[in-house]
Amino acid sequence: MAKVNVGRKILSANETYARKNSELLAQHGSRCFNMISSPGSGKTTLLVRTIRDLAGAVKIGVIEGDIQTDIDAQRIRATNAPAIQIITEGACHLSATQVHQALQELSLDNLEIVFIENVGNLVCPSSFELGEDGKIVVLSVAEGDDKPAKYPAIFAKSKVLLVNKIDLLAAGALVDFDLERVKADARRLNKGIEIFPVSARTGEGMGAWYDWLKGRLAKS
């Protein structure tokens, strides 16, 4: 049998849909960020505060990924932002195919930014491109300062690291979290990563994150 060299990479179904998503978002001038973290790092709380604080300035929609329940989509909708819930029923990450379907249900013409809140998992979601403009990794200070060293892939691939719940440091409740270690370990993996220490609860540090987001908007 003759050997056929097709001369290009055969795309997986996920890669095919990731490209479609990227094209669809670009057609509408919408930016898309894929938020990845451990369960309970505060992704939804961060999104709720970001949407409220940028109301009137930036039009935001959200795709929520959860194994069970639509608790998170309900929290987003309480801000009046549109939210589509994907329930994975056990799957440990979102796929580009699932996101493609959700993107059809959002009115992209009205959205400058689409956030995808992935399933809470610091490992698996980092391996699946969804067609996003960038990954945002969230790390709560309560998780400890050894996480970039122990879970390097997502820190290596993200455009932004949000170090959340810094109000716990100020409260003196956590004394063994070394922010400088986190920054150094993350930059060793990814020298271009932007790092914003924030508290979605108190609002501390959120301004720098908002400035970064506004700088990503498509020029109109």
Binding residues (CB under 8 A) for a second copy: these are: 38-41, 66-69, 71, 90, 92, 119-124, 140, 142-144, 146-147, 149-153, 165, 167-168, 171-174
CA distance 46 to 60: 13
Task: Pick the closer one to a second copy by CB: 142 or 217.
Answer: 142
Strand order in the sheet with 83-87: 83-87, 60-66, 113-117, 31-37, 134-140, 160-164, 194-197
CB of 2 to a second copy, least distance (A): 33
CB of 71 to a second copy, least distance (A): 6
Task: Pick the closer one to a second copy by CB: 38 or 98.
Answer: 38
CA distance 192 to 187: 7
Task: Pick the closer one to a second copy by CB: 21 or 140.
Answer: 140
Instruction: Identify the DSSP state of 23.
Output: H
* 3-state class (DSSP) for residue 86: strand
CB of 209 to a second copy, least distance (A): 20
CB of 184 to a second copy, least distance (A): 15
Task: Pick the closer one to a second copy by CB: 123 or 218.
Answer: 123
CB atoms within 10 A of CB 51: 22
